[in-house]
Chain A
């Protein structure tokens, strides 16, 4: 008779050998797509298979936040003080509801210099024959809805600018829509956010994308339906921008 504990003991051994065989753990994007049900069946099973070799990752996903003592120890208070100090050294973040402030005289002079330099640069740029960037229109189908290779990112190039037309049929209409472009590496960050977007009669949400200053890599264009203060995440378009 083989008991469950015998089997569990076998699985208590480190899984490094198996992990080497199946490859690195799934990315946040794969896990989120799996949990949203956006992956085709065979891809979903493949991600589940890999994930099952990384129980520590599954534990981090599923563990509820423990309730408990909210009182901070001396060490934790010191850590918190250090955190506040670190925050002071970071670039200033825009307030959620920024106050309108009068610019100082020094700031006004600095701004004038910046404007003059920018104008001079623009004049030089106009006088210099240079490469003209092409502009292409791309219709984007959301992740999980692209028929073939549903998980293959949409390919774009840094050599062109684009009018992107993500298409999506929302379950209900919203007063307006928002599109966020995120750099989708290990620590996703928002590159830009475009508000007040209207759904067009063809079902698209057009937005301009200039790739000139984007690093090659993986990005996510995320479409939100917005009503007042609330925003519903509706669709994701994974994009790979390459230098070629």
Chain B
């Protein structure tokens, strides 16, 4: 490696620990977090000629987040493939054999009903409500979905009213941020 590129790369490597900590915080296993950190820095090195002198930390954050998101997509692809394969294998097996043991039919029914209620919200309210129920803050929902915070609040208010109409009862604790 020539001197300048080597020196440039070392400026990135100073942030090794912070990148590793992000992958841990995102819930990846210890081994995955280590691998993804290495991937991030290898990718930085391989794309060094595209680096235009922006803030090193900002550049690393974008790269690390892309690596994380690609890994998450890969996991979903593997899951999808496994589900499709297992559905194919289990298509002739009675339903009772493939029900998860930890959940009663009643609980499953209730859960399905709640999902369906959210699915019946207007298109522009559903995504906000799903993330809200997954404990995302207003700011995070806004960042994730490319909306303003006030748009998120307004959509959630309308969604709450609509859900209340559907359940015909009060919705407890639905007014606050997670």
Residues of A within 8 A of B (CB): 1-11, 13, 16, 18-20, 24-25, 28, 31, 34-37, 44-45, 48-49, 51-63, 65-72, 75-76, 79-80, 82-84, 86-88, 90, 92-99, 180, 186-187, 189-190, 193, 229, 231
Contacts and interface: CB of A to CB of B under 8 A. Distances in A.
A150 to B, nearest CB: 15
B105 interface: no
Given A51-B144, A52-B130, A190-B47, A71 B73 contact: no
B172 A1 contact: yes
Given A20-B83, A66-B21, A99-B4, A93 B45 contact: yes
Contact of B146 (A7, A44, A55): A44
Given A16-B83, A62-B140, A65-B21, A187 B43 contact: yes
The number of chain B residues touching the other chain, given as a range, is 35 or more
B3 A95 contact: yes
Contact of B174 (A4, A63, A190): A4
Given A54-B76, A189-B47, A28 B111 contact: no
B17 A71 contact: yes
Interface in B41-98: 41-43, 45-53, 61, 64-66, 68-70, 72-73, 76-77, 79-80, 83-84
A98 B4 contact: yes
B54 to A, nearest CB: 9
Contact of A24 (B73, B118, B147, B169): B73
B114 A10 contact: yes
Contacts of B77: 24
A174 to B, nearest CB: 14
Name, among A58, A66, A86, A229, the residue most crowded by chain B CB atoms within 10 Å (CB to CB).
A58
12 contacts: A11-B133, A13-B111, A16-B79, A24-B76, A52-B127, A52-B145, A68-B17, A70-B17, A84-B13, A87-B1, A90-B42, A187-B43
A13 B76 CA distance: 16
B2 to A, nearest CB: 5
A70 B131 CA distance: 32
Given A11-B134, A16-B79, A1 B48 contact: no
B126 interface: yes
A210 B46 CA distance: 24
Contacts of B64: 65
B101 interface: no
B13 to A, nearest CB: 7
A95 B134 contact: no
Contacts of B136: 55, 58-59, 62
B70 A187 contact: yes
